[in-house]
Amino acid sequence: MSSSIEQLAKEFAPLAVKEMVQLPPALVPKPAPAPKPAAAPAAAKPAAVPADPSVVGRVIPNPPSVAPTPAPKPAVAAAPKPAPAPAAPPPPPPKPVQIWKFEDKGLHLEVTVEPANVVAAAEIMDRHGFAIDAVTGMDWPTQGLLEVIYDFLHFQTGERVAYRARIARNDPKIATISKVFPGADWHERETHDFFGINFVGHRDLSPFMLPDDATYHPLLKDFKA
């Protein structure tokens, strides 16, 4: 990993959250046992232990109980032999400032920042000459959270950095970064459309992709058409 990524990681460290909620993995155990009791857990369970690591050749932690169903097929098909070895040490939980291998994630650096720090983080990106790639949202109804994800790329070095901020689902408010990156204007407006996140200080949050009279937010998980 290039030194500039480590430098960036250091600069991001004060902005990052102290306590990291493991979002995608934390989500799974809750819905997994509840909605599908009849999804043949008996057949899947025994295979789960050897199979899980074969799926998990990656950095994101995947608790052993997490994915019982994907287990059997890859285990037989891909690699039953190397499976037991990595099974023992569970992968470490992602840190608030996480340096990834690009080949695994398509990202070099991922940071979870405090929601109050998104503008400061955008300024770091601006100072280092990064270009804005995208801003988008993510809905985590079980945890009562909404997530805003900011993607950046560097034209000269090809580095990819993403940072995310998590806000309460019942009062989704976050500062706009469109003053730093005017390109975020449209992305934020679209995110407001789809998730109802209120970007404080944004010049115009009227419906963008949706019809002018839209009052719904279709990418929320509880949206019913």
Partner 1 sequence: MNIPQLIPVGDPSAETFTINLGPQHPATHGVLRVKLEMDGEFIVNAQPVPGYIHRMHEKMGENRTYAQYLPNTSRIDYLSAMTYTHAFVGAVEKAAKIEVPLRAEYIRVITSELNRISSHLVGWGAWIMDLGGFTPILYAFDDREKILDLLEAITGSRLTYCYYRFGGVCDDVDQTFIDGCKAFVPYMRERMKMYKKLVTGNIIFRKRVEGIGPISAEMCRKYGACGPVLRGSGVNYDVRKAEPYSIYNQFDFDIPVYQECDSLARYLVRMDEIEQSLRIIEQACAKIPEGPFQGKVPRILKLPVGDTCFATECGRGRLLVRITSDGKEEAYRIRLRTPCFTNLSLFEEASQGMMLADAISLMASLDLVIPDIDR
Contact residues toward partner 1 (CB under 8 A) are 24-25, 27-28, 32, 55-60, 62, 66-67, 69-70, 73-74, 77-78, 102-107, 110, 129-134, 136, 138-139, 149, 151, 153, 155-156, 158, 160, 162, 181-183, 185-186, 194, 207-211, 218-219
Q: How far is the CB of 95 from partner 1 (least distance, A)?
A: 14
Q: Report CA Rg, the chain.
A: 20
The angle at the Cα of 90, spanning 89 to 93, to the nearest 5 degrees, equals 135
* Rounded distance between C-alpha atoms, residue 22 and residue 24, angstroms: 6
24 vs 84 by CB, closer to partner 1: 24
168 vs 209 by CB, closer to partner 1: 209
Q: How far is the CB of 56 from partner 1 (least distance, A)?
A: 6
> What letter does residue 16 receive in the DSSP assignment?
B
120 vs 138 by CB, closer to partner 1: 138
Helix then strand then coil, % of the chain, to nearest 5: 30, 20, 50
Q: How far is the CB of 151 from partner 1 (least distance, A)?
A: 7
Q: How far is the CB of 136 from partner 1 (least distance, A)?
A: 5
Burial of 166 (C-beta count, 10 Å sphere; 0-12/13-18/19+): buried
7 vs 22 by CB, closer to partner 1: 22
Q: How far is the CB of 4 from partner 1 (least distance, A)?
A: 15
Partners of 175 in the beta sheet?
200
* Rounded distance between C-alpha atoms, residue 26 and residue 178, angstroms: 32
Distances (CA, A) of 166 to 13, 118, 163, 181, 206: 16, 10, 10, 20, 23
The token pair that represents 99 in the structure block: 């340096």
Q: How far is the CB of 3 from partner 1 (least distance, A)?
A: 18
9 vs 116 by CB, closer to partner 1: 9
Helix or strand or coil: residue 137? strand
27 vs 120 by CB, closer to partner 1: 27
42 vs 225 by CB, closer to partner 1: 225
Which residue, among 134, 95, 129, has the nearest Cα to 113 in the 3D structure? 95
Q: How far is the CB of 65 from partner 1 (least distance, A)?
A: 11
